[in-house]
Structure 1
Amino acid sequence: MVYRLYLVVLAFIVTFCFWPVAALAIGENPDHRVLIVAGDENFPPYEFVDSIDGSQVYRGFNVDLLKAVALSTGYEIQFRPLPWAEAMRALDRGEVHAVGGMKYNSERDKRYDFSEAYMTNSLAIFVRKDMQAIASIDDLTGYKVAVQKDAVSYYRLKDLPVHLWLTSSQEETLALLVNGEVDAAVGNHLTGKYILQRTNKHENIKIVGGAIDPEGYCVAVQEGDPLLVVFNRGLADIKQNGTYDKIYAKWFGEPVDYPVQYYKRNFSIALGGVVVLVVVAAVFIQINLYLQREVKKRTLEIQKINEELQRKDKMEALGKLVACIAHEIRTPLTSIKTFVELLPAKYDNPLFREKISQFVPQEVERLNTIVNDLLSYANPRKIERETTPLKRLIDNVMVFFADAIARQGIDLQIDINEEVLVQVDRQQMKQVMINIFLNAIQAVEGTEHAKLTVSGGIMDGLPYLAIFDNGAGIAEENRKFLFEPFFSTKDRGTGLGLFVSYQLAKQNRVDIRIDSQAGSGTRVTLLFNSEENEDA
């Protein structure tokens, strides 16, 4: 009797002590069931201890998610925030039912069972913004790298030739990086970004290497624990009813996925929108094709009109040019013809022979000059630019006018910066300058106290050359014709000198500017305005 009573009491004690755990383990539905879940005390935004109004509050995405799972399955939940390594050991020792958020990997799968993944997590490499040598996991070899103890990042790097610095939290790993104590930190991608933004250090740190080892993020229980069914059922329920989306949006801004009802509800709207877009696109394409055909048609019409105008302009210009050439050639030919016709009758006249020997060569030279200038304009040779000092270019030209300047008693003043360089075709620019100096010397002929001033240097960042004479100047009504062919105010001028000079200067990207007033002299400025001359 006493023995039976002992057995009954013993059975009562055993049942009283172990019934809640047994009922919990097999998934029964008692009135009061509690899930004890461990989590990282400093792993924002997933789970972390925060201070709100002076109180310590455990909060985060995992916390809200597991509260919703517990509510959906009829359980109560108690959280135990611990350092991450302690949280895993608590699960190993059976002190807690689960760890609320753990990234899956094959090594952990040997120790724990994992729920269905409720999101995808990945590692990231964090370095300072001035670090250029690290761009991937392989680049970490030989560097000091901070990782959280027993975290996935630790297992990912522990067998690599890397100097690991172990910390109790990812926040500590990033603090070591910011302070320059390590070269890199490896940890959860979203957590790292959250910590850097919260501590206002994101401007000093960058993420390299992209998403590393993306894997499912799950609830972990001891291997073989039937509670896994409870967690999977709760996760499926909150995803189905939209609670998961709200929690995700609260912590991450937008859900990674929507429930099936969302797609069903919006599919018809999306399909209708696609149909409308296709119709609009088809109409737009037809309108565009029509416009293209019209534009092409109008373009051809305009092209034909332009070609006709260009042909007309060319013919008019050619007619004008031929008329000018004929006029310029006819004048010296008439003089020569007159002398030749008088030659038989007046050959014995010494005065006649003197005049014919003087004027005929002059007219022939005039014809030769016209032909040479026309050839220079019609068949310009290939430009060969080279760097040359501006002073040397002037010295080479002035050699031709030394006798004329001395003979006329011209006061010549030259002031050119010897360091100024220009990029030009020397032969072509020599021809331009000869024409300009020839005009200047002829302009001061007969002028009392004739003066010629030559200066050169830099103006507005570009080389320039200025030639000033105190001659008669140019009348206002003639200035607009200076660069036209066959225009000349000289009795025996061809009118091609400045015209050809202008063309050659333009080919060398040199501007010719003429400032002149009747009775006040003339200033001719050459501005070497090409990019090459800027560099020179």
Structure 2
Amino acid sequence: MKKTIAFVTTLIIIAYGVLAYFEVFNTITFFGETDSITLRIAGDRNFPPYEYIDEHGEYIGFNVDIIRAIALSTGINVQFYPMEWQETSEKLQAKEVDVIQGIKITKEREKYYDFSDAYLENSQSIFVLMDTEIEKLEDLSFQRVAIQQGDVAITNLKALWEVKIIFTSDQEEAMRKLLVGEVDAYIGNTLTGAFLINQLGVRNQVKIVGEMLNPSKYAVAVARGDVYTQHIINKGLKEIKRNGTYDKIYRKWFGQPLQFPSWYKRKIIATIGIAISSLLIMILFLYRWNSSLKKEVEKQTYEIQEVNKILIGQNKEISREKDFREKILQNIFIAVVTINKEGRISFVNQLAYQLLGSQEEGRLVGNPYRETLLEQLFSLDKLQEGKGEEEIYIQGEKRLLYYDIRTITNINGDMEEVILFFRDVTEERKLQETIRTKDKLQSLGNLVASIAHEIRNPLTSIKAYAELLPKKFNNTEFQKLFSTDIPLEIDRVNTLINDLLEYAKPRKPFRERIHLQSALNGVLTLLKNKIKQEKVHIENHIDEAIYIHMDKNHLRQVLLNMILNAIESMDKEKKKITFSAEIRDKKILLNIKDNGCGIDEDSIHKIYNPFYTTKSNGTGLGLFVTFQLLAENGVALSYESALQEGTIFTLTFTREGEDFIAEAINC
């Protein structure tokens, strides 16, 4: 028992000795030969309450007081240089100043600066007017948002849709733009925004919404490699925190201390020491219970071993499942590559190696993607989602790759992994071109009768003039009619032939501004004979003011296919095709309606499949080619149909400015 009391007493003495040591250590003051040093301090000229020029022209603020306190504690001299915020980094990198006072620590900035110890936790908020419907960050899509030039909040806004970003020189300018309605919201430093609200007296007009953004540590920045200046700043910060100066400055500008005062810390440490001592005494008493608990411990140990066996079995099952999933990825028909957030390749399946070339095998996994062929082939500059096509050469043969880049994010919205899917679509594109050519040939056959009729009319006129020419060669009136009519008829024939050649010639889409009603009338003219033979009534309700952007030959073929398809679907006496267009939101919708037989439920999902048709003499290529042509021009195609009532096909274009630009769809 005496040994136990002596042991406890010794522990208590050691604990109080450690406390005494830290107490003495905390009283050490930094001394050095720094009286002759003058540091040039850069800071924002208008960033209250951190740093700003007041109405008397004095440079004041929380950061200014911190730097002055550091200067007093270390014996250095400081000279302040207020400037626009975006200038501070340029001045420091050019070594025109030695320090940037008060700056958020980010990974990007760590590439250019070294930082002191952090002395503040900082965050940003969304500021809006009281009567706004904006409640969170996602509501800023399609809104006008102000941020200070160079602010890290640009990262938050880039993740949203169609945000109009307005840059300001400082946060006060952003607040004033919000108050006069030039912007719908602004993002800025939380404490600065609260300070401006009080200073401008707009507490009843402005509110903060959503969660805090970009929480980060706040420190002093020095030039990369300037260890000496960094050492001085850190020593000064430790001293002003130890002697309570930091707490006073914080209360002066923000109203409450960031951390507990030194005496409170000492009291907490002493309390912890007493608690530890009491805990040790309890442990000594509990030691006597050890024998009675031994059997219970053995029992628990046995149970733990059993649990471990179960966990080992589960781990093996998880491992088998992981291997099974990897085998699936290795054997699927699409190439897969994954890249982690550090930019290193973490997985490559066998098909990816085959498509990239055997020389890439063994040098992909584990390496930065920028050092591999992936950087040259695909749009991976910012590891963002996207899709497209790239041409590469595999064993000297040109191949076309279609790729799709997807990102995986964690619960906080931060990117964890990038997945790159790609596949060889060379043969697929060739097949599509072959199908399109067959469809054009079929369409040409349907046009022959109409075009022949159109050509026969001017040829008849030319023949009549040619027969009268010997008899009326000297007739002045005949000469006048001859010189007027014959060129017009020849031009008419030439135009028909040129249109036919231009329609038949395959090429990539060339989008241009097209008058929709004129384009439709041109197609109806080509099909005039077919429409007349089938006794189809045409109604055209398209406004003359509507223009679209599309390849004119593709538009002609689409309209030809859809009109011929509509004619063939009608077996009634009163056949009718109606064309109409409407503007809805930022889109124009072209509707083609027939009163034909409609499409049954079994066929409705197959109408775009190549070679699928319910007609006895059809090829099943018309709607497939139509869909492909519209997709190439970025035009969406949808339909509504009912048996024995007819079908409505709708082509959807997106409006931009005064023109109509095709809306891209995923095909």
Indicate the TM-score class for this superposition, using the shorter chain for normalisation.
Answer: 0.3 to 0.5
Structure showing greater Rg: 1
TM-score under structure 2 normalisation? 0.35
Larger RCO of the pair (alpha carbons < 8 Å, separation 6+): 1
The structure richer in helix per residue is: 1
